[in-house]
Amino acid sequence: MSAVRTPAADAGREPGLCPVTVDLLDALLAIEVEAYTFPWTRGNFIDALAAGYIARALVLPGRILLGYYVAMVGVDELHLLNLTVAPQQQGCGHARRLLASVYDQARSCGLAAIWLEVRESNARARALYLREGFTEAGRRRDYYPAPLGRHEDAILMTRGPAA
């Protein structure tokens, strides 16, 4: 997998979606570790793939990874577990492209709702989800680990796949 590049270097090249496979894990983990203080582990991703969760990567020609998501089908709902865009690629519309794929997956499975949790402190992601038609549906107290042994609340958000 090629290294993540800057948006200017990739001007005019169209990214596409592909299934996340084990051969993408090194590049995916490099983004995960850069993007989060408490990243998913290789084991988390392998477990998700082994369980048959929906996992898609957004890549440029040459297999340059821009972002990815992992989602789990539940009873009448899709639960978005992880959606990440490489920090150098944020602000380029890649999260919206990944979310469009999430919506397509939910519709194709005939699911009525999409659910996710987002850190209370992640104002940028929360704003994106609100712009995308998600609404805040609740709070999970002390859901995420935080520095110094503390925990942070998650904001539970939902929307329909066709919203």
The closest of 102, 27, 39 to 67, measured between CA atoms, is 27
* 77 a catalytic residue: no
User: Annotated catalytic residue: which of 32, 53, 68, 117?
Assistant: 117
Whole-number Å distance between alpha carbons of 96 and 7: 16
- Cα→Cα distances 142→47, 105, 150, Å: 24, 30, 8
What residues pair up with 135 in beta bridges, in sequence order? 158
* 117 a catalytic residue: yes
User: Annotated catalytic residue: which of 68, 103, 129, 144?
Assistant: 129
Helix (H), strand (E) at residue 54: strand 54-60
With a CB cutoff of 8 Å and minimum separation 6, the contacts of 110 are none
82: alpha, beta or left? (left if phi > 0; alpha if psi -120 to 50)? beta
Catalytic positions are: 117, 129
